[in-house]
Structure 1
Amino acid sequence: MVSIKDIAKKAGVSISTVSYALNGSPKVTDETCARILAIAKELNYTPNAAARTLKKRESKIIGVFLTDFSGPFYGHLLQGIKEYLNGHDYELIVCSGSQSHRFLPERMIDGAIILDAAFTDEELLQHADRGHKIVVLDRELIHPNINQVLLDNKAGANLAADYVLEKGHRKLYVVAGPQDSYDSDKRLHAVRQTVGRYKDVDCTELPGSFDKESGEKAARRILEAYKEPAAVLCLNDEMAVGVYNTVAESEYRIGEHIHIIGFDNIELSAYVSPRLATIDYSKHKWGALAAEQLLKLIAGEKVEHERIYVTLVKGESVGDV
């Protein structure tokens, strides 16, 4: 591989002069700079990104850490992050898995946006103690180098539960998410609080994994026990779609026998029939705001914790009792 030492030798100048020329420094005359750049091109010189990162202590790259890449949820979130970063001369890499955790301590990235249950709180706090800048989307951590940009899960779950209960439903199933999910935990806790404000609600909690298959599994249990119209509050839309699939194959009808509400308003929600009632928020805005807060942290600017607000999308999937 060609190095700046090779360019310096052929140009008859010092290594530092080549470095100045390659970095556009005014310390080198236009004539010398042009000659060095021409030689670099002739030798097919490629800058060593790792060495440049060590020297400048920045990579101009942000890492986005996700638990996994499955499902329709992440697209708009990542697009919001990407557009904001690209508009401020940063790039992003999307990471998953324990091996990628080394990108922060090895300074391969300038900061991290975390939506990944594989990171422990202790691990993130240790990174923050070492000066790394982090924005979390999936937990509450207090540290000068950590900013929270969280979804208002409590308000969303309250809206969803109130919507079905105000329609008179008293037989309620709640399909939860993974046990290690911050969002699922907050939503489930809020649903329990809302249900507690109503009288005579028969509420059954079923396990789920935020995927279509766990919604299908929950629906089979609900249909096997069916005796009267029931409302099903799924803590994300993918599980709600799974419930739809199973009910559609049965003798029961959605909005009449089984009433369903989801959370996330994924694109598919608008196309299932009857239209799925759900909780909406801007995933694009969530991503863009997370990126904005992280760049402020990196620049040493003051930041405040942010919250993404939610709204109810009514749908014919929930009828009156």
Structure 2
Amino acid sequence: MVTIRDVANEAGVSVATVSRLMNNSGYVSEQSKQKILSAIKKLDYIPNEIARSLNKQSMKILGLLVPDITNPYFPSLIKGVEQCALQHGYMLLLGNTEGQETIGENYLNFFKQYKVAGLIKIDGTHLDTPEDVPTVSLDRMNDQDQFAVISDDFYGGELIGQTILETNYGSILIMTGPMDIQVSKMRLQGIQSVFDQYKIDYQIYSTPSFQTEFADQVAKEIIRDYPNIDTVIAPNDIYALALIQAWNQLGSIIPEDVQIIGYDGIVFGAYAHPSLTTIEQPAYKIGYQGTELLLAIINQQIDPEMSKIIQVKPRLLKRNSLREVK
């Protein structure tokens, strides 16, 4: 591997002179500059960014915490983060927390070793993020978060309630996500605001997790415990698709026997049988705007002592898992 010393020898200058040019940290004559640049090109030298950062406050790296990399919703969000970061010369370190704070804390310690310039967390847990590292929450947030870009989950819940009211809904089961996560509370409150207004009866089932690994187990419990339910509101698309698969295997006809609506808008919902009606969150937009917000904080364009919460609107994707409008 070519080193900075190799570049110095090729250019006929000192290592210190090469270092000053690479780090823009002192005077280098135009003649020496041209020799060094020619040597870098000839030797195909790639600077070691980690080594160069050791005496700096931070690197051009962003840390990104994701709760479940297997959930198809998050790659679109991550893509938005990544493309915005790359456009501004930043790279990503990705940590999959599996929804566990202990794993998240381990990744935070790892990110600190790499002196990340900023942190993006798609988590919603009460992780103790470093005060000296600018942090933006995406999709999920808690009451302590100062900066966030999130979907308007209350509005998403309202969309669900209004959409269900337009069908022959019968008995209704609302499946929520974990109630210690704010998105679960806001979606439920949005649904209830519609149903309670029209005095619609419903039952509530709280899932222990949004994690995909529990979807099949929860689907079996729903079918066992609610055999005569007519309408199910799923906490996300993965759980909705697990229920559709389970009902199909039992010979139930969707949406005639039971109808279902999901949440997130993942691409696989379009390929289910029947295709899944859902509330689509603008995942890419959330990721991109969240990264723009983080970079604005890093570049001191926003006061880090202030607070800024950006909400984006989800939308209804009408497909075939709900009955025709009554």
User: Shorter-chain TM-score: what band?
Assistant: 0.7 to 0.9
Does residue 136 (structure 1) correspond to residue 137 (structure 2)? The answer is yes
Residue type of the alignment partner of 2:296: K
- 1:102-124: per-residue Cα shift (whole Å, max 9, x none)? 1454452100110125x525x12
Structure 1, residues 13-61: CA drift from partner, whole Å, max 9, x if none? 5553232233467822233234445667888876443342233423111
Match of 1:120 among 116, 126, 134: 126
Query: Which position in structure 2 is the counterpart of 1:315?
Result: 319
1:16 and 1:80 map into 2 onto residues whose CA distance is 39
Mapped partners of 2:28, 2:202: distance in 1: 78
**For the aligned residues, what is the CA RMSD?**
3.1
Report the secondary structure of 2:197's partner residue: coil
Distance 1:267 1:103 in 2: 33
Deviates more, 1:48-57 or 1:167-176: 48-57
Question: Aligned residue for 2:176?
Answer: 176
Determine the C-alpha separation between the residues in 2 that align with 1:206 and 1:39.
63
Q: Greater CA deviation, 105-114 or 262-271?
A: 105-114
For residues 242 and 113 of structure 1, the distance between their equivalents in structure 2, rounded to whole angstroms, comes to 30
The residue aligned with 1:284 is 284
Q: Is the 8 A contact 2:276 2:321 kept in 1?
A: yes
Amino acid at match of 2:162: D
Q: Give 2:17's aligned residue.
A: 17
Q: 2:109 aligns with which of 102, 108, 116?
A: 102
Aligned-residue sequence identity (percent) comes to 28
Shift of the 84–256 alpha-carbon distance from structure 1 to 2, 3 Å rule, reads same
- Unaligned segments of structure 2, at least 5 residues: 97-102
Q: 1:108 to 1:89 in 2, by over 3 A?
A: same
Q: How does 1:208-247 map to 2 (within 5 A)?
A: 208-211=208-211, 214-224=214-224, 228=228, 230-247=230-247
In structure 2, relative to structure 1, the CA distance for the partners of 1:10 and 1:317 (3 Å cut) is: closer
Length-normalised TM-score, structure 2: 0.82
Q: Which structure 1 segments of 5+ residues have no match?
A: none
- Tell me how far apart the structure 2 counterparts of residues 296 and 234 of structure 1 sit (CA, whole Å): 36
Counterpart CA distance in 1 for 2:178 and 2:111 is 26
Q: Give me the TM-score of the superposition, normalised by structure 1.
A: 0.83
Letter in 1 for 2:152: D
